[in-house]
Amino acid sequence: MVDVDPDQTPADDEQPKPSSKKKKRKGNFWKELPILIVVAVGLAALIQVFLGRVYMIPSESMEQTLHGCYGCYGDRVLVDKITYDFTDPSPGDVVVFRGPQSWQNDFVAAEPGNVVSKSLQWLGSLVGLPSANEEDFVKRVIAVPGQTVKCCDDQNRVMVDGKALDEPYVYYAAGGSTSQESFAELKIPDGYLFVLGDNRNDSCDSRCQGGGGQAGLVPIDNVIGKARIIVLPPTRWGGVTDHNPQVVSMGAPGWQQSVPMGVGIVAAWPVLLLGRRLRRRLQR
């Protein structure tokens, strides 16, 4: 039996070489990277289906609350898809919805030039860089079921149930008319919304879509979600106003106020996870 001195260190050639460890780590990193990417994209897709999704503003109809223009890079807005599972849209909410059959969008989406462009466009929509969709609209809720809306009073204000609205978000383009187009009195039936664009004289909405009247109303079932946060470009980061034009705002319930932050954190988690793993690997 051979006695072994516990203080004796192994020979140099028996010790693992640092360089081999580093090579092994790098090898594992490149093997794990595709898996991390697939997991991150998959989580982002699931989040956009059930919790919140990013939409692009393609036109100027919601200026200056939301920026958009024909053929340029409009605001990207995070839309909360949870809130309306518990409550119906309220006056002042900026909502994204599928256009009814009678509606026609005020822009034409550019078709991808080839298969590669189409694939990149699809991938971008999964991770929060969507392209414009001709079937989706974004407008502000003005009147809800049971209410009567008309325009205008002697101060050129929209009226709901005989009371003038307080609309600080309304925008009139420079050099254009500052008098909004009038429309006949209309009572909103159950299950429908009356919506208008903030850019009041450059928006085809419930006043003109389908010829106006009942055909211009939006079914509540068509509402996808509530616009909460401008996420891109960075210079435009901020919340989307939901000022109620009919009453003095008392603030949303606590659980509702927590929704945008929760959705934002969850939506960003796959990207943060992937970035953290990449940073750890590169630092080794």
Beta pairing, strands 223-232 & 76-80:
antiparallel
pLDDT in tens, 174-202: 888 888 988 999 999 999 999 999 999 99
**pTM above threshold 0.75:** no
Cα–Cα distance measured from residue 261 to residue 143, given in angstroms and rounded to the nearest whole number: 27
Give the number of domains in the chain: 1
Does residue 5 belong to any structural domain of this protein?
no
pLDDT at 7: 57
Check residue 261 and give its pLDDT: 41
Please write the tens of the pLDDT for every residue from 87-125. Answer: 999 999 999 999 898 888 755 555 555 555 455 555 555
Q: What is the pLDDT of residue 215?
A: 93
Write the single-letter amino acid at 131: S
Can 119 be counted among the known catalytic residues?
A: no
Catalytic residue among 61, 90, 125, 206: 61
Nearest CA-CA partner of 54 in 140, 126, 134, 107: 126
Task: Yes or no: say if 260 and 105 are a contact pair by the CB < 8 Å rule.
Answer: no
Q: What is the mean pLDDT of each run of 10 residues along the chain (284 residues)?
A: 54 54 61 70 60 80 86 81 92 94 68 53 52 76 97 94 95 87 94 96 92 94 94 89 79 41 45 48 51
In a domain, 146, yes or no: yes
- pLDDT for 181 equals 87
Kindly state the helix (H) or strand (E) to which residue 262 belongs, with its residue range.
helix 254-283
Q: What CATH number does residue 60 fall under?
A: 2.10.109.10
Catalytic residue among 90, 139, 206, 226: 139
The answer as to whether 253 is a domain residue is yes
User: Among 64, 43, 44, 55, which Cα is nearest to 226's?
Assistant: 55
* pLDDT at residue 175, as a whole number: 82
Q: Which domain holds residue 218?
A: 23-171+180-283
